Amino acid sequence: MTKKPMVWMDGVLMEQEKAVVPLMTHALHYGSGIFEGIRIYDTPKGKAVFRLTEHMARFLDSGKVLCMNIPYTVPQLCEAVKDVVRATVPEADYIRPIAYYGANAQGKITLNPAVFPLHVAIACATMGTYLGVESMENGCRVATSSWKKPSHESTSLTAKICGNYVNSILAKLESNQRGVEEALMLNQNGTVAEGPGENIYIVRKGKIITPPISAGILEGITKDSILTIAKDLGIEVVEREITRSEIFICDEFFFSGTAAELTPVRSLDERTIGTGKPGPITKMLQKAFFEAARGQNPKYDSWLSYINK
């Protein structure tokens, strides 16, 4: 018998096809939800979730921004994630926790969701290599989007709010329509922010340079992992504003994120980055990151939550 995808919804494991959402759900109309993206990796000790505790802590922090009273602790949510991974289809490699305002009993439409019921769910999916195997191995092509990131005055950019990602969708659609794999997004100051779902880095003269939180970026958990590994390898890291034209003349350029993992970039706006191939620092970090995520380096074992423990 074929195993069916399972989800955890409001404390109950159920088949994904039975986890229905009413049409008048507030989050469906207004984006009033928060979410996380988390990777599952195969390791010598079995399946493991990468930096699960940190993701669930950020999940609760995002909920605070939307005034959500999420009735679960970080340890409870971590155990729920493990339950879903154990129960669902074996090919699943990506976890999507989501909390959202639902539908009220009267079916009313109103912007303020404070009186609406809150729901929390955890699902799994098969992500694979997000930007493609070719991009992972040889670098992706990127175009600067005409859509800018919102400012810190417009929304909370440190929270993973569902509605915020319409901005990323517009950039993603535009970049794909232009025939490239991904977009580069600038902030309201005209300096570099991030990709639609990735933090960005350039390498110049042996140093990694990456935008700070003030540039309008998500405080990435994968980014924290990359910067930790870089410092452990003795690579200098500088967090500062980056201009678009500075990327044109950099030696290396790469993305990181839960979905993108660590993906090199070979061109921006049809300008070749460096040699047009992943550079030595990018390849070194990519190798070290996957060793950490796949349980092949005991130094980073604390980053892994093993499903069978």
The angle that helices 221-232 and 52-65 make with each other, rounded to 10 degrees, is: 140
Dist CA 309 CA 296 (whole Å): 17
Beta bridge partners of 262: 256
Beta bridge partners of 194: 185
Q: Which of 149, 160, 172, 223 is catalytic?
A: 160
DSSP string, 64-85: HHTT------HHHHHHHHHHHH
CB within 8 A of 155, min separation 6: which ones? 161, 163, 164
Instruction: Pull the structure tokens for residue 7.
Output: 């989800």
The angle that helices 221-232 and 280-293 make with each other, rounded to 10 degrees, is: 110
The three-class DSSP label of residue 220 is coil
Dist CA 100 CA 119 (whole Å): 5
Residue 172 designated active-site: no
Phi/psi-derived region of residue 250, left when phi > 0, alpha when psi is between -120 and 50, beta in every other case: beta
**Which of the residues are catalytic?**
160
